[in-house]
Structure 1
């Protein structure tokens, strides 16, 4: 094909000009396969997005480490700057993001076979909304499109081709090295965040959840042990004794035999307690001190209308055979 014929073809069919330019240079045009575009997309956008999300979550979950919060914010800002530079400025200069260089691909204008201008590169990124809105169909369009174009590529007249010239191969090798370095930095940062989270924050979170669990167990145990009705008093007392230990178990047994059970049977007294609030004051692996705020009602034959009750108690808990039991209950 002569130079005049090539120029005429580019004027008559601009979408073919990149292919003609490549053939004129003695190499065939190969549109980048969809799988390689997915790899490039993962490097350029998915990996930074995942890392940014991890940094944001890390920032929210570690309120005590100020320097880590500053590092997380700075890391997110750097990632945003990287994505903007990589997908606009680098694409305008070299025709390839780091991801595309890593996969040996290049973005070209279909009508000039040159890298897109900065304006066109920005418009191409904005046009990806056309790929996303119709259920992501535009991202998959290269699977069956003859030019392997997404909707964004068609909107701004760009194509993605496999690099072939020596200069393009040089950029490909440079991009491969830069992409590998980027991935290494991302993996190292993610590893640092994960290590700090699991070594510093997760144990603290576990201790906090354990403390809250002990407080709830202690308060619920106290409320259950103090509740009874005339019809179920024997069962209620037996259940209460199973939750007590030590001197308080002996005290409760005597109190139940002399006061609680006779009052329930002879005077129809019923008492029901619920937990209003609870907090752990101190703890060891086998002991704990819990402050509990209880609210209840009582009624009987002499006073059939329920009477509201409130009580604040200090519970001394002891762990025996894996179960937390009340060793003492002190009204406050």
Structure 2
């Protein structure tokens, strides 16, 4: 009869350690604190290297846009004021003259004009207005009691003017007229010049 051999100390240790090894494989070590730390570090890096630079870039772009918009608004406001003043002064110059200085007066007014309107005004004054004023002793005085911008950009503007003109022929009583004029201006070499002059 053969004797049943009892496991030795080494074999007991091997038998005992095998389930522990299996348990170690089936149940991996999950340390919640280390997982949380890993997740915390990862999100910190995402925020530090991804979101914050993007946010800074967006804020810089927004600040640049607002600065550009503010400058554009100021530029348009300046252009509006300058074009209204140029339209007012130009209209008064175009429609005001005295018989003894009519040629000088209207030639000076030409410096406020541009484009095809300059050519048309030059021909009209030389052919009709100047000779008539000198022969019939005609004088005219224009005033602009009201002006309103219609549209304005950096180099182009339209202004509506309300014009009063008093005309005296010889020794006759003055004749007063009131009218509205749509004045178009273009900015040429830093100056607002009248390019169209249309009664409305």
TM-score (norm 2): 0.61
- Conserved in 2, the CA contact under 8 Å of 1:248 and 1:328? yes
Q: Quick one: which of 173, 186, 192 aligns to 1:318?
A: 186
Structure 2 counterpart of 1:165: none
Structure 2: unaligned runs, 5 residues or longer: 1-62
CA distance in 1, matches of 2:105, 2:168: 16
For this pair of structures, how many residues does the alignment match? 135
| 1:172-226 residue CA offsets vs partner (Å, 9 max, x unmatched) | xxxxxxxxxxxxxxxxxxxxxxx9xx95778646633541332122121111122
Structure 2 counterpart of 1:304: 172
Please report how far the alpha carbon of residue 237 of structure 1 lies from its aligned counterpart in structure 2 after TM superposition.
1.5
CA distance in 2, matches of 1:205, 1:286: 14
Aligned to 2:140, what secondary structure does the other structure show?
Answer: strand
- Conserved in 2, the CA contact under 8 Å of 1:269 and 1:299? yes
Please report how far the alpha carbon of residue 260 of structure 1 lies from its aligned counterpart in structure 2 after TM superposition.
0.3
TM-score (norm 1): 0.38
Aligned to 2:160, what secondary structure does the other structure show?
Answer: strand
Q: Quick one: which of 196, 211, 214 aligns to 2:80?
A: 211
CA distance in 2, matches of 1:203, 1:248: 30
**Highest CA radius of gyration, 1 or 2?**
2
Alpha carbons of 1:319 and 1:202: their partners in 2 closer, same or farther (altered >3 Å)? closer
**2:128 is equivalent to residue 263 of structure 1:** no
CA distance in 1, matches of 2:157, 2:111: 18
Structure 2 counterpart of 1:277: 146
| 1:41-68 residue CA offsets vs partner (Å, 9 max, x unmatched) | xxxxxxxxxxxxxxxxxxxxxxxxxxxx
| 1:288-321 residue CA offsets vs partner (Å, 9 max, x unmatched) | 11111111210012x5211212121011101111
CA distance in 2, matches of 1:327, 1:203: 24
Please report how far the alpha carbon of residue 246 of structure 1 lies from its aligned counterpart in structure 2 after TM superposition.
1.0
Structure 1 counterpart of 2:40: none
| 1:241-267 residue CA offsets vs partner (Å, 9 max, x unmatched) | 111111111111111112101111000
- Conserved in 2, the CA contact under 8 Å of 1:212 and 1:279? no
- Which protein has the bigger strand share? 2
- Conserved in 1, the CA contact under 8 Å of 2:95 and 2:140? yes
Q: Residues 90-239 of structure 1 correspond to what in structure 2 (within 5 A)?
A: 199=67, 204=73, 207-239=76-108
**2:121 is equivalent to residue 252 of structure 1:** yes
CA distance in 2, matches of 1:287, 1:210: 9
Aligned to 1:281, what secondary structure does the other structure show?
Answer: strand
- Conserved in 2, the CA contact under 8 Å of 1:233 and 1:264? yes
Q: Per chain length, whose mean CA-contact separation is higher, i.e. which structure has more relative contact order (CA < 8 Å, sep 6+)?
A: 2
CA distance in 2, matches of 1:204, 1:286: 14
Structure 1: unaligned runs, 5 residues or longer: 1-194
CA distance in 2, matches of 1:273, 1:314: 16
Aligned to 1:229, what secondary structure does the other structure show?
Answer: coil
